[in-house]
């Protein structure tokens, strides 16, 4: 019995000693930077955090630099490679989950073409936010994309407030 417990304990120790990236790198899309992402990011969290995200160039840059400040072991050149990998595989235009049906109204098409690039629109349909909160969320998304389109931000915000706003 002791021998079985010892063998089990050793298996746990050696299993835990296996780098997390070796266990999960194959879950990431192939491309330059994949191994860097798997190694640097999985030191603190699972890669599901990354694979569930969608962000634009500005947003991914902020995330990566924030992680470097928190201890991610990346040189500046490696950080640039990681950022480009994330934009390519988890940025605007990368495959996202299917969209929920949205109610008709001015701005619906913009929500479907802009927001659905990164998000499953079910996230929008289940949340009620105040007007200022929708405006902040939409402006933040455009900033993360690295885009300036005040007319679109206003139209999307107005649609979201009308359809999914609360007092």
pLDDT for the residue 14: 39
Structural domains of the chain sorted by starting position, each given as residue range(s) with its CATH number in brackets: 19-90 (1.10.760), 108-164 (1.10.760)
CA dist., res. 107 & res. 11, Å (int): 57
Percent pLDDT > 90 in the chain is: 40
CA 49 – CA 42 distance, rounded (Å): 10
Alpha helix positions (H), 18-106 = 20-24, 34-41, 48-51, 57-69, 76-90
Whether the predicted pLDDT of 15 surpasses 50 = no
> Tens digits of per-residue pLDDT, 73-86?
999 999 999 999 99
Q: Find, among 39, 40, 41, the residue nearest to 21 by Cα.
A: 39
pLDDT tens for residues 117-167?
777 777 777 778 888 899 999 999 888 888 888 999 999 999 999 998 887
Lowest mean pLDDT among 17-21, 48-52, 56-60, 124-128: 17-21
The Cα–Cα gap between 90 and 150 comes to 24
Q: How far apart are CA 55 and CA 63, in angstroms?
A: 9
d(C-alpha 62, C-alpha 51), whole Å:
17
Which is more confident, 2 or 121? 121
User: How many residues are given for the chain?
Assistant: 167
- When pLDDT is averaged across residues 12-20 and rounded to a whole number, the result is 40
């Amino acid at each position: 019995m002791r021998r079985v417990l010892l063998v089990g304990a050793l298996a746990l120790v050696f299993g835990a000693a296996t780098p997390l990236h070796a266990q999960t790198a194959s879950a990431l899309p192939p491309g330059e930077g994949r191994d860097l992402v798997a190694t640097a990011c999985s030191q603190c969290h699972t890669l599901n955090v990354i694979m569930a995200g969608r962000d634009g160039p500005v947003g991914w840059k902020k995330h990566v630099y924030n992680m470097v400040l928190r201890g991610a072991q990346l040189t500046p050149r490696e950080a640039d490679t990681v950022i480009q990998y994330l934009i390519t595989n988890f940025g605007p235009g990368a495959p996202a989950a299917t969209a929920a049906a949205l109610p008709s109204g001015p701005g619906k098409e913009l929500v479907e073409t802009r927001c659905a690039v990164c998000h499953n629109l079910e996230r929008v349909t289940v949340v009620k936010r105040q007007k200022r909160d929708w405006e902040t969320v939409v402006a933040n998304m455009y900033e993360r994309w690295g885009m300036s389109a005040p007319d679109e931000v206003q139209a999307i915000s107005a649609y979201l407030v009308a359809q999914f706003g609360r007092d």
